[in-house]
Amino acid sequence: MDVLYFAWVRERIGLPKERVSTEAETVADLVAELRAREDRYDLAFSDLTALRVAVDQELTDFDASIKGAREVAFFPPMTGG
């Protein structure tokens, strides 16, 4: 699946998008896998209350299933308007 990062999450991890092969069943499982990779991921995901997630471009929560998902995106709370 594609994993996308926006705003300071993108800056902290250092890339906007990457292809990830994973057996993770939920967003939280995917986060745990990413955090185990490198410090920059661990740092970016250190406070999940400061993050929001969208699965296939729909806002959801960290308990959500990602089975069959094409795209998971992580970003800070939105500041539109």
Q: Which residues bind another protein (CB under 8 A)?
A: 4, 6-8, 54, 57-59, 73, 75-81
Distance in Å, CB of 79 to another protein, minimum: 5
We find the least distance from the C-beta atom of residue 77 to another protein, in angstroms, to be 4
Contacts of 22 (CB under 8 A, 6+ apart): 1, 29, 30, 33, 66
Q: How far is the CB of 78 from another protein (least distance, A)?
A: 6
Query: Would strands 58-60 and 71-75 be described as parallel, antiparallel, or unpaired?
Result: unpaired
**Nearer of residues 21 and 49 to another protein, judged by Cβ:** 49
